[in-house]
């Protein structure tokens, strides 16, 4: 996927599948991440069960309460960043996928047939 510096949107499951398929090493499951140390030539990962692993690049895809993000922000001195400990804003997000063929059939020429769309509804 070439984005030339732009943001790209795709489903989380697709990201995980690509990371798994393109991984040159091992994928570790059932490990709770605790911390990392960037030593220049590699990143040393530390897990709650005492296991350590190394990698070239650490990608944090561990969810809204991301330990990777929190640890990264703390290492950078961003202890007060709102991204460090996200909280519920009171808004709900629902998402769904509609096959483009079905959308085209119901609404010929709809913009969603040409590009990804996001619809945001105001709070009631």
The CA distance from 124 to 64, in Å, is 25
Strand order in the sheet with 43-47: 33-38, 43-47, 52-55
Active site residue 32: no
Provide the 3-class DSSP secondary structure of residue 14.
helix
The CA distance from 33 to 22, in Å, is 21
Q: Which of 9, 12, 65, 95 is catalytic?
A: 95
Q: Which residues are catalytic?
A: 95
């Amino acid at each position: 996927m070439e984005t030339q510096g732009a943001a790209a949107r795709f489903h989380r499951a697709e990201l995980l599948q690509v990371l798994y398929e393109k991984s040159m090493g091992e994928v570790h499951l059932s490990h709770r991440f605790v911390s990392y140390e960037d030593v220049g030539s590699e990143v040393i990962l530390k897990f709650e069960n005492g296991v350590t692993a190394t990698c070239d690049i650490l990608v944090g895809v561990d969810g809204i309460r991301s330990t990777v993000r929190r640890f990264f922000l703390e290492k950078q001195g961003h202890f007060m960043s709102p991204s460090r400990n996200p909280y519920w804003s009171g808004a709900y997000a629902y998402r769904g996928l509609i096959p483009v063929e079905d959308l085209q059939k119901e609404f010929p020429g709809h913009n969603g047939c040409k590009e990804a769309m996001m619809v945001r509804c105001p709070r009631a």
